[in-house]
Amino acid sequence: MSLIREEVKRLVTCAAQTHPGLRMDDLILACTPYTWNQVFGAVNELIKDGTIILRQHGRIYALSSSSEGDTLPPASIPERRACEQEESPQE
């Protein structure tokens, strides 16, 4: 598996955990500079392995971590730096 694919999956997982109920369009914006195709590919893999859940609310699709349960509160666009800082080693 490529390093880029793993990075996109890590970013999507972090976004789902820190912003439950995140809308797909906001996720795409939060995952720049990656393409929508790379983000959707990561979402597809993470849904299949049970890491995240995608739910439809009318015409809106929202994702959350599988550990979040059934509630999907509204979420804003996550900052990519927040996820990167969580993963960085502490000195």
The per-residue pLDDT for range 31-67, each reduced to its tens digit, is: 988 999 999 999 999 999 999 999 988 898 899 888 7
- Assign 90 a pLDDT band (cuts: 50, 70, 90): very low
What pLDDT shows up at residue 84? 56
Residue 17 tokens read as: 């955990």
Give CA 49 to chain center in angstroms: 14
Domains of the chain: which residue ranges?
3-66
Q: In the predicted model, is pLDDT for residue 77 greater than 90?
A: no
Third-level CATH fold of 3-66 = Arc Repressor Mutant, subunit A (1.10.10)
What pLDDT shows up at residue 71? 42
Mean pLDDT for the stretch of residues 75-91: 49
Residue 30 tokens read as: 């939060």
What pLDDT shows up at residue 44? 94
What pLDDT shows up at residue 68? 56
Backbone φ and ψ for 46, nearest 5 degrees, come out as: -70, -30
